[in-house]
């Protein structure tokens, strides 16, 4: 009986496992192998790939260009995730503090933003930041003493990444706000009232009661933001399509893309991909442990 049950379970799992092996397992394996090979243009034309061990990784470690990309990606990811978390939580607190009408308006706005397909969102933002006729330059130029007419946001890496970060924050805040708000609604009113009676100020209530109680949600949401912000490819790629395409405007995703498609250096591209996967798995591990703990209880 038990054995047939196990066999049934195996059959039920088979299609999902098969598609995962084809779509993800094999590519990961291929990347692991290729990252230890010299696999450039020559190999594309039939020359056999030579095993060079950790050669690609050593070459990468010595490449200041890649270090720039890695550091830029990490900084971008951390800054964007922190800003997203801060704004998302403030909006969640705001949702909790206002009456029903304004709350509904705020929630609808958040939902609209959350639902926007990423490519459509990018076209709108590129239009908003348009150098000559974008609304953002128009509005900023309207502030007395500010000269923003025809300011090109995409021209220098700093403002390029500020724009990218603003867009990513805009798109990610709704998820954080709704998750944190869902957490807030679970904080019992009785405890808050008791604290109120004991003379706790609003800031004290937030710090000593609300924050500790919603800490688990915040932790998960923050981890997910970090993981997601490390892999911003679409946003950077589309901004590059609309503006400059140089190496100074790359994050890890676009860097790998260029290594693979333009330079046709699959050995190096694989090595960087493995690096990205390793960082992601490292960060995901915490998230998975939290989810598994929930699953068991």
Partner 1 sequence: MSARVRQRLLGGLAIVVALVWAFPVYWMVNSSMLPTAKLESFTPTFVPFGGSFDNFAAALADGDFYSALGMSVAITAIAVFFCLLFAFLAAVAISRFRFRGRKSFIVAVLLVQMLPAEGLFIAQYKMIASVGLLNSIVGVSVIYIAAVVPFTIWMLRGFVAGIPADLEEAAMVDGLSRAQAFMRITFPLLAPGLVASGVYAFLQAWNEFTVALVLLPAESAQTLPLWLRGFVQASATRATDWGQVMAASTLVAVPVIVFFLIVQGKLTSGLVSGAVKG
Restricted to residues 214-233, the positions that interact with partner 1 (CB under 8 A) are: 214, 216-217, 219-221, 224, 227, 230-231, 233
Q: Is 57 in the site for partner 1 (CB under 8 A)?
A: no
- Torsion over CA: 248, 249, 253, 256 (sign): negative
Q: Is 281 in the site for partner 1 (CB under 8 A)?
A: yes
Query: Which CB atom, from 198 or from 296, has the smaller least distance to partner 1?
Result: 296
Query: Which CB atom, from 82 or from 290, has the smaller least distance to partner 1?
Result: 290
Query: Please, what's the b/e burial string for 46-64 (b: 16 or more CB within 10 A of its CB; e: otherwise)?
Result: eeebeebeebbbeebeeee
Q: Is 170 in the site for partner 1 (CB under 8 A)?
A: yes
Q: Tell which one of 46, 64, 117, 246 touches partner 1 (CB under 8 A).
A: 117
**CB within 8 Å of 146: residues ≥ 6 apart:** 140
CA dihedral 95, 129, 237, 83 (to 10 degrees): -30
Contact window for partner 1 (CB under 8 A) among 49-57, 157-165, 191-199, 278-286? 278-286
Count of residues engaged in binding partner 1, rule: CB under 8 A: 110
The Cα diameter of the chain in Å comes to: 81
CA distances from residue 180 to 40, 86, 177, 210, 230 in whole angstroms, order as listed: 47, 11, 5, 11, 22
Q: Tell which one of 60, 89, 126, 163 touches partner 1 (CB under 8 A).
A: 126
Least separation in angstroms between residue 255's CB and partner 1 is 10
Least separation in angstroms between residue 145's CB and partner 1 is 19
Burial of 260 (0-12, 13-18, 19+ CB in 10 A): middle
Distance CA 184, CA 188 (A): 9
Contact window for partner 1 (CB under 8 A) among 63-71, 157-165, 178-186, 203-211? 178-186
Least separation in angstroms between residue 120's CB and partner 1 is 4
**Which residues face 38 on adjacent strands?**
50
Q: Which helix (H) or strand (E) holds 120?
A: helix 118-128
Q: Is 168 in the site for partner 1 (CB under 8 A)?
A: no
SS3 per residue for 136-194: HHHHHHHCCCCCCCCCCCCCCHHHHHHHHHHHHHHHHHHHHHHHHHHHHCCCCHHHHHH
Q: Could you give the string, one character per residue 128-167, with x where binding to partner 1 holds by CB under 8 A and - elsewhere? A: x-x-xx-x--x-----------------------------
Q: Which of residues 1-40 bind partner 1 (CB under 8 A)?
A: 5-6, 8-10, 12-13, 15-17, 19-20, 22-24, 26-28, 30-31, 34
Q: Is 122 in the site for partner 1 (CB under 8 A)?
A: yes
Least separation in angstroms between residue 170's CB and partner 1 is 7
């Amino acid at each position: 009986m038990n054995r047939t049950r196990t066999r049934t379970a195996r059959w039920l799992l088979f299609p999902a496992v098969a598609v995962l092996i084809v779509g993800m397992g094999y590519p990961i394996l291929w990347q692991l192998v290729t990252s230890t090979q010299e696999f450039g243009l020559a190999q594309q034309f039939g020359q056999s790939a030579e095993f060079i061990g950790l050669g690609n990784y050593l070459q990468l470690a010595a490449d200041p260009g890649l270090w720039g990309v890695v550091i830029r990606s990490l900084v971008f990811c951390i800054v964007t995730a922190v800003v997203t978390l801060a704004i998302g939580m403030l909006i969640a607190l705001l949702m909790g503090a206002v009456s029903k009408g304004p709350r509904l308006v705020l929630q609808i706005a958040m939902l609209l933003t959350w639902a926007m397909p990423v490519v459509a969102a990018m076209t709108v933002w590129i239009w908003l930041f348009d150098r000559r006729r974008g609304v953002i330059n128009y509005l900023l130029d309207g502030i007395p003493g500010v000269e923003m007419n025809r300011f090109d946001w995409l021209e220098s890496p700093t403002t390029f990444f500020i724009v990218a970060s603003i867009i990513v924050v805009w798109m990610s805040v709704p998820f954080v706000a709704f998750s944190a708000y869902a957490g807030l609604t679970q904080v019992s009113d009785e405890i808050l009232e008791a604290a109120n009676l004991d003379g706790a100020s609003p800031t004290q209530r937030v710090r000593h009661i609300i924050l500790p109680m919603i800490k688990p949600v915040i932790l998960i949401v923050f981890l997910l933001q970090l993981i997601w912000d490390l892999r911003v490819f679409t946003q950077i790629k589309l901004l590059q399509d609309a503006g400059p395409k140089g190496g100074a405007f790359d994050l890890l995703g676009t860097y790998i893309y260029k290594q693979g498609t333009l330079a046709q250096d699959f050995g190096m591209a694989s090595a960087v991909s493995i690096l990205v996967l390793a960082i992601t798995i490292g960060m995901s591990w915490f998230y998975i442990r939290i989810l598994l703990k929930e699953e068991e209880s």
